[in-house]
Amino acid sequence: MQFSGYWVSQQDSTITVLPDYFDETDLSEKSHWTEAHQNEDPSCPAGYIKPKSVLLDVARRLVQMHPHIAAANAEPMNEEFSVNSLEDFGLLCLKLLPERGYGDEP
């Protein structure tokens, strides 16, 4: 059986998302069969079935590359937040990510 998903990779400052298909032998039991990792090396592409996991991985990589994003997102959202640009929308998404650690919810 094949499942549609995405590979997320990074070369220097470029993050790439590539659509692909996975079969059950690509997916890990540890992730409840929703992720594929070529090995434990973070420089290798990571595969995901869930689009939310793709977005979380891309966000994590962006924050690692741009510490000022993490600084802008350091405080929890407890007041009105205006969204007037794509950058504002991206910051809002980061603020609303689960546990603010850019990890997936259980």
Helix (H/G/I), strand (E/B), else coil: 65: helix
CB atoms within 10 A of CB 47: 27
pTM over 0.85: no
The tens digit of pLDDT for each residue in 80-97 reads: 888 999 888 887 877 776
The tens digit of pLDDT for each residue in 26-68 reads: 887 787 788 887 656 667 788 899 988 888 888 888 888 887 7
First to last CA, the chain: 25
In angstroms, the Cα distances linking 52 to 25, 56, 70, 78 are: 22, 6, 19, 24
For position 102, what pLDDT does the model report? 45
